[in-house]
Amino acid sequence: MTIKAYVIALRGDEVVNKAVQRLHDSAPSNAIMHNFDAVVPKRVSVLSRTYNLEWNYPWSGQEMDIKSGLIKSAYPTKEPKRRIACFFSHYLLWLRCIAMEEPIIIHEHDACYFNDDPLPLEAMAASPYTIIGLNDPRKATRLSGVYHTKVQEQPLDVCRAPEIDQPMVPQGIAGNSSYYIEPKGADKMIGLTKEFGAWPNDALMCRQLVPKLGQTKKYYTYVQGIQSTTSS
């Protein structure tokens, strides 16, 4: 069994290109790697009109989202359109997953595999989760130690993404640099954008809004630690 894995990559950026090459070189044999051109800021307005989506997340401070009951906290962002472009890169891949009618892996350019151990595709397909994080939480997400401990306490190879904070704080997988997604999971994400608008994808993809959000107990990828293209 193999799976198509898409790497969101910004064309013409030397640092990104080197990171993407490291990701390709580290990939296991059952992940068929493809690059996916990252959405650039100048495309944001057109895509927003095409898909009738408006950004609905604060650029500073915090606000309560009445509809979801969640507290939305601003992400560090110097250029807002870069953040929205990142959202649309994931959004377009969710649409592709639905159109393909098969699961895919989505990587951001700064992901890298630890080794060439095969991805547990059968276990993920057999699990109740339609979106599953593959990434090591350590140095990749807030409260990473709590996340790691709770995942390692679970008896199954694929478990539900853990609760690590107050119920009103969106809690997702350990960064969105690497995740498995099935068409049902992609359809869920598209539905959430219609209901709540466009948010940072790792805020919208939270256990409160996506009950079938999982995490592998064994970590297959890590974040390379290069400069973010959304916060810089």
Domains of the chain and CATH, by start: 3-223 (3.90.550)
pLDDT at 203 over 70: yes
The string of pLDDT tens digits covering residues 152-195 is 999 999 999 999 888 999 999 987 899 999 999 999 999 999 99
CA angle 35, 39, 40 (to 5 degrees): 125
What is the mean pLDDT of the segment spanning 73-77?
89
In this predicted structure, what is the pLDDT of residue 49? 98
CA pair distance 8, 179, nearest whole angstrom: 12
CA pair distance 186, 96, nearest whole angstrom: 9
Mean pLDDT of the chain: 94
- Of 122, 130, 108, nearest to 183 by C-alpha is 130
Residues in the chain: 232
pLDDT at 231 over 60: no
Looking at residue 132, its amino acid is I
* Residue carrying structure tokens 């959304």: 230
Q: What is the CA radius of gyration of the chain?
A: 16
- Of 208, 212, 222, 202, nearest to 134 by C-alpha is 222
Sheet holding 213-216: strands in order across? 31-37, 3-9, 104-108, 178-181, 131-133, 213-216, 158-160
Confidence of residue 77 (pLDDT cuts 50, 70, 90): confident
Question: What token pair was written down for 19?
Answer: 């990171």
The string of pLDDT tens digits covering residues 25-59 is 999 999 999 999 999 999 999 999 999 999 999 99
Of the chain, the percentage scoring pLDDT greater than 90 comes to 87
Looking at residue 142, its amino acid is R
pLDDT at 223 over 90: yes
pLDDT at 232 over 60: no
* Residues paired with 6 in a beta bridge: 34, 106
pTM for this prediction: 0.95
What is the mean pLDDT of the segment spanning 76-82?
90
Confidence of residue 209 (pLDDT cuts 50, 70, 90): very high
Other CB atoms within 10 A of residue 99 CB: 10
CA pair distance 148, 43, nearest whole angstrom: 37
pLDDT at 139 over 80: no
CA angle 32, 118, 3 (to 5 degrees): 30
Tell how far CA 46 is from the center of its chain: 23
pLDDT at 227 over 70: no
In this predicted structure, what is the pLDDT of residue 204? 97
Tell how far CA 87 is from the center of its chain: 9
